[in-house]
Every structure is written in structure tokens, then in C-alpha cells.
């Protein structure tokens, strides 16, 4: 049962906050069952305590026996040190959930005695408002029931997609990094709107509503993006002119390359931060 679980976030950065905000706002787990620890910035923990009613603790003060789910939320470069520092405190009942890009379940499993349940997830920052598209892949020893508990936890921050782990790099390139592509697009649309004399504020609202409407059409109408695009496009009209400019300037290729490069970087992170380690020396 998820509602009885106690969750510790190790790493109190922006992803941890986005997830905590989503989980607390969804009300599935009482805030006092959520604890967060950070390596150095204690002020940051105080902020999260005040904002969400959760508890903060220094890493050394974490009482692991009172925790069920441990969420690893540090940068890939810090994963090895963090795993080394907690591995001797981990108990068989602990469920390890990692949000770390590029770090595989097998790398994490190597730090623990055989049988530890590990789940790798890739949320995005829209977790903050309960609208993440989150990928979930399970490790070798993870039970179906555990996947369901973690899935339920993640459903409080948005939609969850269970995928094979060999698709996690691609998922990261699409959904983990994806919000940034749309923000980038918005920045450029805003610039043109401002150049044309619209106030920044009005332009932002208009563009956000346009993106929101387009996304909602995809989710609610059983239609492909290509058909919906054609429905907007009158022969020799404004959209045709805009799409022609996108095509001429290579926007389609640019978007495909963004996904490819982000997915490739996720793969690179795997080799960059896991190649020198075979886990912990017991
Ligand atoms: N920001 C995003 O949109 C997404 C990030 N991720 C992943 O989430 C992870 C965290 O990303 P951010 O929150 O953006 O990073 P961040 O830099 O904002 O936060 C990481 C935090 O972890 C702390 N930390 C590092 N080592 C630690 C340790 N041993 N013990 C306790 N705390 C420790 C740092 O002090 C820092 O506060 C990364 O691995 C990233 O790949 C995944 C999905 C989306
Ligand atoms: O940029 C990054 O590496 C992380 C992972 C996905 C989104 N942010």
C-alpha cells in the first residue's frame, strides 16, 4: 500500500522538488512520510520543509530502518559516491528508485547484495504540476507488486509508461528533456511576437494556450499529428507559408537531431559514470 510508505529523497535539487510537489499536492502520501536529504545546502532543505511540510535530514542522520522507498535524485556524476555512501545502510526491504539520467539498474544493483529491488525512472519537470510523462524500467529483482507501488507513487506526478530499459535513453531524449524543446520553441515565438509589438505577457499566454490546445487535441481526438496539421493548413494560406519556412530552415531535421543527441548523451552518461565501477567492495 502506497499510503503507508515512507519515502526518502537523496538529493534536494529541482527534480526532487518537482516530484515532492507533485506527490504532496496529489495527497497520496502524507507529507510527514516524506524526508529529503541534501549533500551540502542545508538552507535548501529548510525551504522544502517550509514549502511542502516534509522533513529534512542530513545524509548522516537518515534513519534507514524507518524508510521504505529511497529515491536517488543526484546528478549522474554524483551517483557513484552517493551509492557508496548509502550501500551499507540499505536493507533488503528497501525499494531503490533512481531518477538519474544514464545510470542503469544493473549499475545500481551492483552496490547491494543480490536481490535488491531497483527501479529506474525518467520523469520530467512537469511533475511539479502533476503532468509529467514518466518512463519506468525495473531491475532484475523487482517484483510486480513493487512496480505497481512505485507506479502509483509516480501517477501522482503525471502519466507513467512502463518501458524496457534499453529504450530509456530514447525516452529521456523525448520526454525527460522534451519540455526544454517546447520552452525553446516558445522563447522564439515570444521573440517574434514581441518584435511585432505584442506585450511579452500577452504573447506568453497566447503561445502557451496554443501549445496546450494542440497537445490536448492529440490526447483527446483520435487523430495523428499529420492529419491535425493538415486540418490547420488551408491551401495557399498562412499555415502553409509558415510550414514552408519551417521546412526550408530544416526544423524537422533539427527536432529529430535534438531527440537523437539527447538520447545519445544519455547513453554516453552511462559509460562516462559507470565504466570505472563494478559496484562496492564488500
Ligand atoms: N531536471 C530535470 O528535468 C530532470 C532531471 N533528472 C535527473 O535528476 C537528477 C537530479 O537532477 P536535478 O534535480 O536537476 O539536479 P540538481 O543539481 O538540481 O540537484 C541534485 C542535488 O543532489 C545533491 N546531491 C549530490 N550528491 C548527493 C549525495 N551524495 N547525497 C545527498 N545529496 C546529494 C546536490 O547537492 C543537489 O542539491 C539528475 O540525475 C538528472 O539526470 C531526471 C529527469 C528530469
Ligand atoms: O538534462 C538532463 O541531463 C536531465 C535529464 C533529463 C532532463 N534533464
Q: Is the dihedral of CA 161, 166, 169, 174 positive or negative?
A: negative
Q: Is 172 in the pocket of ligand 2 (CB under 6 A)?
A: yes
Strand, helix or coil at 160?
Answer: strand
**Which residue shows C-alpha cell 522534451?**
178
Structural domain contains residue 274: no
**Interatomic CA distance for residues 129 and 117, integer angstroms:** 28
> What does the chain come to in residues?
282
Kindly state the cell numbers that stand for 190: 515570444
pLDDT score recorded for residue 277: 66
pLDDT score recorded for residue 58: 83
Structural domain contains residue 53: yes
Q: How far is the CA of 36 from the centre of ligand 2 (A)?
A: 20
Q: Which domain holds residue 206?
A: 178-266
Structural domain contains residue 51: yes
Q: Is 100 in the pocket of ligand 2 (CB under 6 A)?
A: no
Kindly state the cell numbers that stand for 171: 525516452
Q: Is 168 in the pocket of ligand 2 (CB under 6 A)?
A: no
Which positions make up the binding site?
Answer: 10-15, 73-76
Strand, helix or coil at 37?
Answer: strand
- Do 19 and 118 belong together in one domain? yes
Structural domain contains residue 276: no
Structural domain contains residue 77: yes
pLDDT score recorded for residue 1: 80
- Do 233 and 143 belong together in one domain? no
Q: Provide the CATH number for the domain around residue 50.
A: 3.40.50.720
ipTM > 0.95, yes or no: yes
pLDDT score recorded for residue 110: 96
- Of the residues 137, 168, 199, which one is the last residue of a structural domain? 168
3-state helix, strand, coil in the chain (%, to 5): 60, 15, 30
Structural domain contains residue 152: yes
pLDDT means over runs of 10, the chain (282 residues): 93 96 94 94 93 90 94 97 95 97 97 96 96 98 98 97 98 98 98 96 98 98 97 98 98 98 97 75 51
- Do 68 and 13 belong together in one domain? yes
Q: Is 177 in the pocket of ligand 2 (CB under 6 A)?
A: yes
- Of the residues 150, 168, 186, which one is the last residue of a structural domain? 168
Q: Is 105 in the pocket of ligand 2 (CB under 6 A)?
A: no
- Do 147 and 212 belong together in one domain? no
- Do 119 and 57 belong together in one domain? yes
As for how many domains the chain has, the answer is 2
Pocket perturbation via mutation, ligand 1, pick of 75, 79, 124, 127 by most ligand atoms within 8 A of CB: 75
Q: Provide the CATH number for the domain around residue 236.
A: 1.10.3730.10
Structural domain contains residue 271: no
pLDDT score recorded for residue 12: 96
pLDDT score recorded for residue 60: 75
Q: Any idea what DSSP says for residue 111?
A: T
With beta carbons less than 8 A apart as the criterion, state whether 173 and 181 touch.
Answer: no
pLDDT score recorded for residue 34: 97
pTM over 0.90: yes
Pocket perturbation via mutation, ligand 2, pick of 169, 171, 176 by most ligand atoms within 8 A of CB: 176
Closest C-alpha to ligand 1, atom 1: 15
Q: Is 124 in the pocket of ligand 1 (CB under 6 A)?
A: yes
Q: Is 269 in the pocket of ligand 2 (CB under 6 A)?
A: no
Amino acid at each position: 500500500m502506497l499510503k503507508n510508505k515512507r519515502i526518502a529523497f537523496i538529493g534536494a535539487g529541482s527534480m526532487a522538488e518537482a516530484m515532492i510537489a507533485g506527490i504532496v499536492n496529489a495527497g497520496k502520501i502524507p507529507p510527514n512520510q516524506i524526508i529529503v536529504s541534501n549533500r551540502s545546502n542545508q538552507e535548501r532543505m529548510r525551504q522544502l520543509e517550509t514549502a511542502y511540510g516534509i522533513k529534512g535530514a542530513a545524509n548522516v542522520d537518515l534513519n534507514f530502518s524507518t524508510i521504505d522507498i529511497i529515491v536517488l535524485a543526484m546528478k549522474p556524476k554524483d551517483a557513484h559516491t552517493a551509492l557508496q555512501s548509502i550501500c551499507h545502510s540499505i536493507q533488503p526491504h528497501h525499494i531503490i528508485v533512481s531518477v538519474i539520467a544514464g545510470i542503469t539498474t544493473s549499475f545500481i544493483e551492483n552496490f547491494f547484495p543480490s536481490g535488491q529491488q531497483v527501479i529506474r525512472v525518467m520523469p520530467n519537470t512537469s511533475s511539479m504540476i502533476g503532468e509529467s510523462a514518466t518512463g519506468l524500467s525495473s531491475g532484475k529483482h523487482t517484483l510486480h507488486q513493487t512496480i505497481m507501488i512505485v507506479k502509483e507513487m509516480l501517477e501522482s506526478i503525471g502519466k507513467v509508461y512502463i518501458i524496457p530499459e534499453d529504450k530509456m535513453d530514447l525516452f529521456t531524449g523525448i520526454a525527460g528533456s522534451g519540455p526544454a524543446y517546447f520552452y525553446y520553441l516558445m522563447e522564439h515565438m515570444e521573440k517574434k511576437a514581441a518584435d511585432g509589438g505584442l506585450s511579452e505577457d500577452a504573447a506568453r499566454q497566447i503561445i502557451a494556450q496554443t501549445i496546450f490546445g494542440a497537445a490536448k487535441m492529440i490526447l483527446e481526438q483520435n487523430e495523428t499529428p499529420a492529419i491535425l496539421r493538415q486540418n490547420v493548413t488551408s491551401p495557399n494560406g498562412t499555415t502553409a507559408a509558415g510550414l514552408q519556412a519551417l521546412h526550408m530552415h530544416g526544423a524537422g531535421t533539427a527536432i529529430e537531431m535534438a531527440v537523437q543527441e539527447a538520447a545519445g548523451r544519455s547513453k554516453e552518461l552511462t559509460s562516462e559514470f559507470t565504466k570505472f565501477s563494478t559496484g562496492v567492495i564488500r
